[in-house]
Structure 1
């Protein structure tokens, strides 16, 4: 099933279809493949941060806080473990507010 919404496909049907996972959806519904997100996030975000630290000639110790998007606590913990970031440097709003979408790292900073 493709995607619609916004200006992508103004004439897309709102009628539900049964997807391969057994759930009814239409082209205007959001759908995220959690396993794909997980397998992308752990190695790629870890590498991006390592590359940034190398480029900036800094280390984890040079920063007081690391504010990550907060959709999944397991992902945050795995990334921090791989980078050896102390959990004290990770503000967590996820257990309080849940996934607040694109504002999650800002909300977490307010809780720090």
Structure 2
């Protein structure tokens, strides 16, 4: 997720009883989907458009890692060490990717 202006809304009020993606298989034709028995977290943003870069960074609650994905073919080609908890936000500058979440609460 990239954010530099506008607003980001967070919702954890729904998702029980829905199907959701599970695992790290891309493209989604190879994705394993499971039934969500607990809440699903959703983010919605407005404002600045995402800048054109060659890769995407993502993180989440399952692997507790930040993954680097090539935009052109969606192939994962790098990942961080285990963060130690759910990753709620990512941002980057010219040298680093920053993550924040449950462990550091920043």
Higher strand share: 2
Q: TM-score w.r.t. structure 2 length? A: 0.29
Q: TM-score w.r.t. structure 1 length? A: 0.28
Higher helix share: 1
Compare CA radii of gyration and give the structure with the larger one. Answer: 1
Q: Which has the higher contact order (CA 8 A, sep 6+)?
A: 2
